[in-house]
Amino acid sequence: MKRYTKEEKIKICKLFLESNSKYENFSKSYKLSSISLRNWVKNYNLFGEEAFDNSKTHLEEKLKSLQKENKQLKKTT
């Protein structure tokens, strides 16, 4: 299985989001599983380009921070 760089993942996500394609069809053109593409796009939408930094810990910290912020915002409304 090919390993994609951060830059490649970002480019593929942007192209997918600009297209009207389904995950299954689009992923075939990059020899990528539709599940991987779906996960990349989900993470890209949540975290932007930081989603593809190689540190899972970084993403977990970002998620916790966003969850905490969300909880605080819910309390104020």
Q: Which domain holds residue 41?
A: 6-76
Query: pTM surpassing 0.85?
Result: no
Residue 22, domain member (yes or no): yes
Residue 1, domain member (yes or no): no
Band (56; pLDDT cuts 50, 70, 90): low
Residue 50, domain member (yes or no): yes
Radius of gyration of the chain (CA): 15
- Which tens digits make up the pLDDT trace of 10-43? 999 999 999 999 999 999 999 999 999 999 999 9
Q: Specify whether the CB–CB gap between 35 and 1 falls below 8 A.
A: no
Residue 15, domain member (yes or no): yes
The tally of domains found in the chain comes to 1
Other residues' Cβ atoms within 10 Å of the Cβ of residue 51: 21
CA 17 to chain CA centroid, Å, is: 11
Residue 47: what residue type? F
Q: Specify whether the CB–CB gap between 62 and 50 falls below 8 A.
A: yes
